[in-house]
Amino acid sequence: MARVSQEHLDARRRQIIDGAARCFARDGFHGASMQGVLKEVGLSAGAVYRYFSGKEDLIAAIADEAFTSIRRAFWEAADATPPPAPDVLLGRVLRGLFSGEVCGLDGRQFASLIVQVWSESLRNEQLAATFEDGYGAMRVVWTGVVEGYREAGILRADVPADHVARTMMAATQGFFAQMALFGDADPAVLENGMRGLMAMDRPETG
């Protein structure tokens, strides 16, 4: 029997993940069935189960990939000293994520998948662990970027870096929710809104 190359195995796994992601984004985690996934992927049950034990395993793999993509997009966008200002940084991250490069999904599909991961993590222990690991890793990365602002002298010393990082993460999460629910969000909106908030003058008191 001919030996299957690692390249072939990786390509087949990629095919399964991308097809399952499209299926879940369209039908939802609970609405989608493994039969639907098999039809979307265009492979036999045996071929798919060689890589994944079932729907829960597929969901966990897709969630892990989504977090990895978000973390990588943010890190690449922030790869400068000092890092780009928050408005520019978040705009770059979201444009990269909504470009169709993650599992072949468009912006609304990807956002829908992320929101479903959040919801599913409330009942699925395996997914909750993946989500917790991904969120923790993202906090470390984002906090490191914020520390770059401090080192460059553009962030006040009395503002905890973790608080700024979590606020930036919250803005991004809110954008995902708007995109998933309404579909009319544009990275430029968050970018411009963030720029406006950053430019506000604090009124003098006393």
What pLDDT, in 10s, does the model give residues 10-34?
889 999 999 999 999 889 888 899 9
- The residue type of 154 is I
pLDDT of 102 strictly over 80: no
Rounded average pLDDT over 177-187: 88
DSSP state of 97: H
| Average per-residue pLDDT for the chain | 86
pLDDT of 2 strictly over 60: no
Percentage of the chain lying above the pLDDT 90 cut: 30
- 102 or 114, greater pLDDT: 114
- The pLDDT-based confidence of 204 (bands split at 50, 70, 90) is low
Look at residue 1 in the predicted model and tell me its pLDDT: 44
pLDDT of 206 strictly over 60: no
Look at residue 155 in the predicted model and tell me its pLDDT: 87
**Which has the closest alpha carbon to 92: 63, 70, 64?**
70
Instruction: Tell the burial category of 162 from Cβ atoms under 10 Å away from its Cβ (0-12, 13-18, 19+).
Output: middle
User: Alpha-carbon distance 74 to 89, whole Å?
Assistant: 8
Instruction: Tell the burial category of 107 from Cβ atoms under 10 Å away from its Cβ (0-12, 13-18, 19+).
Output: buried
Tokens 């029997």 found at: 1
pLDDT digits (tens, 9 = 90+) for 142-159: 898 899 888 888 888 898
- The residue type of 106 is D
Q: Which of 63-77, 79-93, 122-136, 163-177 has the highest mean pLDDT?
A: 163-177
- 1 or 72, greater pLDDT: 72
